[in-house]
Amino acid sequence: MSVRTLPLLFLNLGGEMLYVLDQRLRAQNIPGDKARKDEWTEVDRKRVLNDIISTMFNRKFMEELFKPQDLYSKKALRTVYDRLAHASIMRLNQASMDKLYDLMTMAFKYQVLLCPRPKDVLLVTFNHLDSIKGFIQDSPTILHQVDETSRQLTEIYGNLSAGEFQMIRQTLLTFFQDLHIRVSTFLKDKVQNSNGRFVLPVSGPVPWGTEVPGVIRLFNDKGEEVKKTEFKHGGNYVAAQKEGSFELYGDRVLKLGTNMYSVNRPVETHMSTTSKNLASRTQENIAPNPLAKEELNFLARLMGGMEIKKMSGPEPGFRLNLFTTDEEEEHAALSRPEELSYEVINIQATQDQQRNEELARIMGEFEITEQPEITEQSTSKGDDLLAMMDRL
Amino acid sequence: MYRRERSILLRGSAAALSNNLSVLQLPDRDLRHFGVVHGPSAQILSSAPEGVPLAQRQLQVKVGVGVSPPLITQVHWCVFPFRVLLVLTSHQRIQMYESDGSLMVYWHALDSGDSSSGTWSGRILVFDIPAKGPNIVLSEELAGHQTPITDIATERAQGQDGVADMVTADDSGVLCVWRSGTTFTLLTRIPGFGVPCPSVQLWQGIVAAGYGNGQVRLYDATTGTLHVQISAHARTICALDLAPEVGKLLSAAEDTFVHIWKLNRNPESGSIEVEHYHGECISDTQLCGARFCDPSGSSFAVTGYDLAEILRFSSV
């Protein structure tokens, strides 16, 4: 398995997370002058995205991320995204966070599977980064952070061999193995079947560097081609037109990794799994200790690099619902199948006392608990936003 | 020419590895053993020819208490004249079992220095296997590759008893052809061309190699000359297999297709010829393993990433 996979996994999942949050915030967007005190505005949306993106691309965090290391469990990675999603005034209930993570993982799984060449996962990453730069156009500091990460990506991955990219691809696919959550956009666009499997087309352009299948060439002792015959391959492929650009700016050609959400396409996930296959539950769900020691170390290092702004006073933040109504969100929380539970980490349950304390310290006031309903808040949303902006 | 038979259900889905299906044919007992890697475990099962599963077993790499088992990279049967061993590999260990996986007879730890740096050295380890018992000894380490080894194929050298030819392939597409003797000698080295070679086969002095760009190439094993180049698939090839009695070659790829080719050595010119024999599309399945189930190639089986079954086909 490749030790260079984590940055690609993290950045692409992070990109998908931002697409979903952006879409939901826009969907709940109210024009600034008409907004009630508890409703989202355009300013709020930009603020949330700015906060998350600047936390994601923080230099210390990126340094930890880019160190050669194995991929950690889905559980450990989910903890990082929980923290990231709460890097701003936005709050998500467990059900919404679960749905967000489902959408992120299925989208990137789809993109990895459909990549024509293993190396194209780098183009997918650049597509995500290009879009992220679009979200923070007005913030030159954060823009610079993202560009720095792009440069680091090019430096590390630009010269990897095809074999190393194939290993990265296999490592990613192992991470996504047995995930078959159905996503309504994918079902509607017919890129996912009703059993949760993705459609693998057998037509269209071949990958850059591959020939259209169907030709047999025969050579003599001197290496000269002496005969050429054809055979029926069965697919309907055409030659590739051009190669995507791996530069800081350029035409990526590949559409995978670009933003597929828009305001008018709310995204639902269907929670049914197709089989109650015992073995498809990964080892980690059965282990009594939720996190292995190495994973705790990893989390401590990674999140130690995340500089999360402390919330001022008792302000719990403003809730974003990924479902259409609060009732739907509640229902989703109650009806989530056992085998799809992410079992969000309860730090107190770990046995390693020293790690426990260090991790608890880093986590600070961060809590993944239910938030009170917005209608119960007494403070003025506008005042707090202004106060926060003054402190920038 | 081939029709789909009843699938064999697996306990766990197949992992996205190359060569992720191993078959042990036991014609005198009317049985077949199948081996598939799921992830941290490999599943071994035996079935009667109609595909009815008879017994199954799950194997893992042994580790210390409280540590989760590592990912398995390959499960494969090695057939010797006097015994059959089942080999399980991971990045830290090689474990060898009796052919049904019931008893581990030997294990070997690989250099941890290789694993932690994330590169594998490309060394080939040669073990001496006694006719019986666990007295397996590492006898040689062959250097010939600089990148991780992807596949190994062997066949008895033509006209010589006790001597085998071997071809090894690696992640950079380099192929090495060896002759065994008191030690292995490198006969020829075939350079790569920028893509990995995940799978390789050897038949009557012909090296068949499947590449990451979907090509199948056939070389003369003694000279290393390229004789045939097939644009066989639109994605990387994940497995090749041979039916030695008839010279049929099976290729499977991540493009969802399986193709069967008929190889032939022209008796006058000595050149290698090939023709396409059969193609099959396994919809929406990124294949990861494929094997013939009998030496005449009248039946074959495939596995796919995320698929918890072995698909079977037999000729009509």
> How many alpha carbons fall within 13 Å on the CB side of residue A231?
20
**In this complex, do B66 and A1 lie within 8 Å of one another by their Cβ atoms?**
no
Complex-level ipTM beyond the 0.90 threshold: yes
Specify the pLDDT at position B270. 79
CA distance B216 to A41: 58
* Residues forming a β-bridge with B53: B47
Q: Which residue of A has its CA nearest to B58?
A: A279
Within an 8 Å CB–CB cutoff, is residue A277 touching chain B?
yes
**Residue A303: its H or E element:** helix A293-304
Q: Which residues contact A59 (CB under 8 A, 6 or more apart)?
A: A145, A148
Residue type (1 letter), A97: M
Within an 8 Å CB–CB cutoff, is residue A279 touching chain B?
yes
CB atoms within 10 A of CB A205: 16
Specify the pLDDT at position A277. 37
What backbone torsions phi and psi does residue B3 show, to the nearest 5 degrees? -125, 155
Q: Which residues contact B151 (CB under 8 A, 6 or more apart)?
A: B18, B19, B168, B169, B197, B198, B199, B200
Query: Which is nearest to B192 in space by CA: B212, B174, B215, B219?
Result: B174
Collapsing DSSP to helix, strand or coil, B96 comes out as strand
Q: Best interface-test mutation with B: which of A200, A224, A283, A293 has the largest number of B CBs within 10 A?
A: A200
Specify the pLDDT at position B175. 95
Q: In this structure, which long-range contacts are made by residues B127-130, counting pairs with CB atoms below 8 Å and at least 24 apart in sequence?
A: B129/B78, B129/B80, B129/B83, B129/B85
- Tell me: pLDDT of B45 over 60: yes
Specify the pLDDT at position A207. 95
- Could you list the pLDDT tens digit for every one of the 392 residues in chain A? 889 999 999 999 999 999 999 988 887 765 555 556 556 678 888 888 999 999 999 888 898 899 998 887 888 888 889 888 888 888 888 888 999 999 999 999 999 999 999 999 999 999 999 999 999 988 999 999 999 999 999 999 999 999 999 999 999 999 999 999 999 889 999 999 999 999 999 999 999 999 999 999 999 888 899 999 999 999 999 999 999 998 888 899 889 999 988 655 656 666 544 333 333 333 333 333 445 666 666 677 767 666 555 554 444 567 788 887 778 888 888 888 766 666 554 443 334 455 555 555 555 433 333 333 333 333 333 333 333 333 33
What does the pLDDT look like over B159-198, one tens digit per residue? 655 566 899 999 999 999 999 878 888 999 999 999 999 9
pLDDT band at B10 (very low <50, low <70, confident <90, very high): very high
The model scores a pTM over 0.80: yes
Query: Which is nearest to A112 in space by CA: A245, A236, A241, A12?
Result: A12
Give chain B's mean pLDDT. Answer: 88
Within an 8 Å CB–CB cutoff, is residue A118 touching chain B?
yes
CA distance B82 to A174: 37
Q: Is A303 left (phi over 0), alpha (psi -120 to 50) or beta?
A: alpha
pLDDT band at B261 (very low <50, low <70, confident <90, very high): very high
Q: Which residues contact A301 (CB under 8 A, 6 or more apart)?
A: A64
**In this complex, do B235 and A207 lie within 8 Å of one another by their Cβ atoms?**
yes
Query: What are the strands, taking DSSP E only, across chain A?
Result: 90-91, 182-183, 203-205, 215-219, 225-230, 236-238, 269-270, 318-319
CA distance B291 to A76: 37
Q: How many residues does chain A have?
A: 392
Q: How far is CA B31 from CA A197, A225, B24, B34, B55, in A?
A: 32, 44, 9, 10, 11
Lowest-confidence pick of A44-58, A242-256, B33-47, B118-132: B118-132
CA distance B97 to B90: 14
* Residues forming a β-bridge with B280: B258
Q: Best interface-test mutation with B: which of A69, A210, A226 has the largest number of B CBs within 10 A?
A: A210
- Taking a C-beta distance cutoff of 8 angstroms, is the pair B106, B134 a contact? yes
Specify the pLDDT at position B266. 83
Q: How far is CA B269 from CA A220, B227, B272, in A?
A: 9, 12, 9
Interface of B with A in 116-175 (CB under 8 A): 117-118, 147-148, 170-173
Within an 8 Å CB–CB cutoff, is residue B13 touching chain A?
yes
